[in-house]
Amino acid sequence: MEGFSGGTKVNQEGDGYEGDTTDNDSDPGGEGNDKGVIEKIFDDFTETLVADLVGPGTDEADTAVEGEDGEKQKDEDERESGSISVTGHNVGGIGPMHMAIEYTDEAGKTSTLSAGPEGGKLVSEPNRASDAPEKNSTIGRVTPPEGVTTNDYINELRRADGKYCDCADYDLFPGVSDSYNSNSYVRGLIEATGGKASVNFGNYYGGNDPLPERYFK
């Protein structure tokens, strides 16, 4: 999904979410890369274990609606075509919130921008399987800068995402040694491109530590 050209990461939009949304993150280093598999398993295990111990960083009721059967229902139908939203899910089902930026075009095709842990670094990955519309709930809306259309703004977000170096230190709970998490990434990306989100990022782990603008230049 991503390549490198002249030292700058090239972000390829891809086809968004169609058909199979099976999570393919189990082999982040590519086929046959045992080290990448082990690192990913360790990162996922550590993140879920810590989440189980400390609980979520915000009330899940803020990000999902409850159905008649008492289960939390995903609200992907509330995301309108031609809009940009901040969506998310609880890590491991009960842990801290992981956020993503989601865009649905006029044809109804959905794509996302987000980041997660890989080898101790915060690595961006457009259209992560775990961020598929049916897996994330709406947290808030994103408003483009004044005078910028939604279509132009999502392209600017993709451009900035493509310039990110995948080099910031990752921490599930940022604030230690200039580390960041997925929520830091989402807030930093939106603010670096001049957008605004109807989200109180301070209610979420990492939301008070946005990834600095210099990472998107």
pLDDT tens-digit readout, 119-178: 999 999 999 999 999 999 999 999 999 999 999 999 999 999 999 999 999 999 987 778
Other C-beta atoms closer than 10 Å to the C-beta of 80 total: 9
Within-domain flag for 103: yes
Within-domain flag for 4: no
Q: What is the DSSP letter of 108?
A: S
pTM, two decimals, is: 0.70
Within-domain flag for 79: yes
Within-domain flag for 16: no
Q: pLDDT at position 94, please?
A: 87
Q: pLDDT at position 2, please?
A: 37
Q: pLDDT at position 80, please?
A: 80
- Distance CA(70)–CA(60), nearest Å, equals 13
Q: pLDDT at position 44, please?
A: 53
Q: pLDDT at position 179, please?
A: 94
Residues of the chain short of pLDDT 70, as ranges, are 1-15, 17-78
Within-domain flag for 13: no
Q: Are 106 and 16 in contact (CB under 8 A)?
A: no
Q: pLDDT at position 14, please?
A: 54
Determine the 3-state secondary structure of 69 from DSSP: coil
Domain range for 54 is 25-216
Within-domain flag for 133: yes
Within-domain flag for 7: no
Query: Which of 190, 70, 178 has its CA nearest to residue 206?
Result: 178
- Distance CA(169)–CA(195), nearest Å, equals 24
Within-domain flag for 12: no
Q: pLDDT at position 24, please?
A: 39
Instruction: Provide the number of structural domains found in the chain.
Output: 1
